[in-house]
Homo-oligomer: A and B are copies of this chain.
Amino acid sequence: MKRNGEPDILITGGTALTMSKTMEVIENPVIGIKNGKILFVKKAGHFPEYSAKEILDASGSVVMPGLINVHTHLPMICFRGLADDLPLMEWLNEHIFPAESKYVNRDMVYNGSLLAIAEMILSGTTTFSDVYFYESSVAQAAIDSGIRALPAQGLIDFPTPDNLDPSRKVQIAEKFIKKCTGVSPLISPALACHTPFTCSAETLRIIKEVARKANLPYIIHLAETRDEVKIIRERYGTTPVRYLHSLGVLDNLTVAVHCIWLDEEEMDILADYGVKVSHNPESNMKLASGVAPIPKLLEKGVTVGLGTDGCASNNDMDMFMEMDTAAKIHKATTGDPTVMDAKAVLRMATIEGAKVLGLEDKIGSIEVEKCADMIILDMKKPHLTPLYNYYSQIVYSASGSDVSTVIIDGKILMKERRLLNMDIYDIMERVRKIADAISGNNS
């Protein structure tokens, strides 16, 4: 029997970047974890004050909140590298959409999600928000692997592998919410409308209504491409953000993904309504969508998180790469090397991401009472030497493979780079079989 008050896990040594409001940095900390929560975080005294069943030595390491990937499409990992460097419409219409219509099923979604989750844990991500078809299978993969997730059922006005009758969208949405509510403390369901041009005004409105009734985030790809702006202009005589505004679907539970082609007034609308933004620079660059005006959105007070987007357009799930790119791309396009500094970018990948998902009371920083979602980064490596500034080193020099330990909800899921509760060889083999079928028909 454990003594009352004794933590389950104790992390000692190294440096804690708490990412709290005061951005407290604690050298040589002791962090206690109990029942999935952070019991205490403090500077170590001269004598050992605590014991625990599991003691993790973080000497020479950084302890920080786990990274939060606010937008991805996990099962698309099955299409990683299938079709790159192609014009957007050719990529979508000749490769991705045909592959999706033929190969997306519960098995593909579940196994692809498991591989993507493994890749995320291996690179320090502890929470993700996902949009896809058969989203309850994404949720199941999250539950089975122990990662925290905000899975969002994707809805669109075409028949999809998981819904051949688009008129049944509300039922699909409600069924999904029912299925994923209360199933695990780590799962928070959400709903997603694909885009303003692939969903009708009616769809956008009624799905927002379902989300509002259940008090859930409503996610939508928005202002991603110049073509989208053109289509919305032609169809509705206005721009994407103004159009959604006119439908009454913008509020502080709306997550707008991409937000590249915005004018000043549209940025103000997003700011005024407290709409959250997911920034996905690597996907935006690779698909040649453009560069989102993130420094301006931040100036206007918009909450912005970071996402990798799906593996078909990135092509990885590594949030460290995303941070590095997010910190650099806006410097190049604004001509100002002071925008998107390392500290701000690390906030985006942690506490700001938590705010985007409405989970800031639970995760995103190392603070007492919050859920114990933490990662330990080994800083004793050649490419992380010398070390002047933790934030710089993490954003500009570290990569996912520097994460040694991952704790989610107080459970150690990775230790010394070994995944403790996933059979990664089996998962890779399952996804290879899916890929074999896809490439056999794609060659």
**Chain A residues near B (Cβ < 8 Å):** 77-78, 80-82, 84-88, 91, 115, 118-119, 122-123, 226, 282, 284-291, 314-318, 321, 324-325, 327-329, 331-338, 340-342, 380, 382-383, 385-389, 392-393, 396-397, 399-401, 424, 427-428, 431-432, 434-435, 439, 442
Contact = CB atoms under 8 A, between A and B. Distances in A.
Contacts of A327: 85, 286
B337 A287 contact: yes
Given A81-B389, A324-B321, A331-B287, A382 B88 contact: no
The 7 closest A-B pairs by CB, nearest first: A386-B435, A85-B341, A285-B328, A288-B337, A81-B392, A285-B332, A315-B396
B115 A397 contact: no
Contacts of A82: 388-389
A384 to B, nearest CB: 9
A290 to B, nearest CB: 6
A227 to B, nearest CB: 11
A383 B123 contact: yes
Contact of A385 (B88, B289, B432): B432
B334 A288 contact: yes
A226 B392 CA distance: 26
Contact of A431 (B331, B334, B386, B393): B386
B382 A118 contact: yes
A268 to B, nearest CB: 25
Contacts of A80: 385-386, 388, 393, 397
Contacts of A286: 327-328, 331, 337, 396
A396 B84 contact: yes
Given A332-B288, A382-B119, A84 B282 contact: no
Contacts of A325: 325, 328
A104 to B, nearest CB: 15
Q: Which of A81, A327, A428 has the most CB of B within 10 A?
A: A81
A438 B423 CA distance: 46
Contacts of A115: 382, 385
A386 B82 CA distance: 9
19 contacts: A80-B393, A81-B388, A85-B341, A86-B338, A87-B336, A87-B337, A122-B382, A285-B329, A286-B327, A286-B331, A286-B337, A287-B331, A288-B337, A290-B332, A317-B383, A380-B428, A386-B434, A387-B432, A388-B435
A439 B388 contact: yes
A340 B84 CA distance: 11
A314 B400 CA distance: 17
A396 B332 contact: no
Given A81-B396, A431-B386, A87 B338 contact: yes
Contact of A337 (B85, B331, B341, B427): B85
B334 A332 contact: no
Contacts of A334: 288
A183 B364 CA distance: 55
Contacts of A336: 87, 288
B389 A84 contact: yes
A385 B428 contact: yes
Nearest to A114: B382
Contacts of A122: 382-383
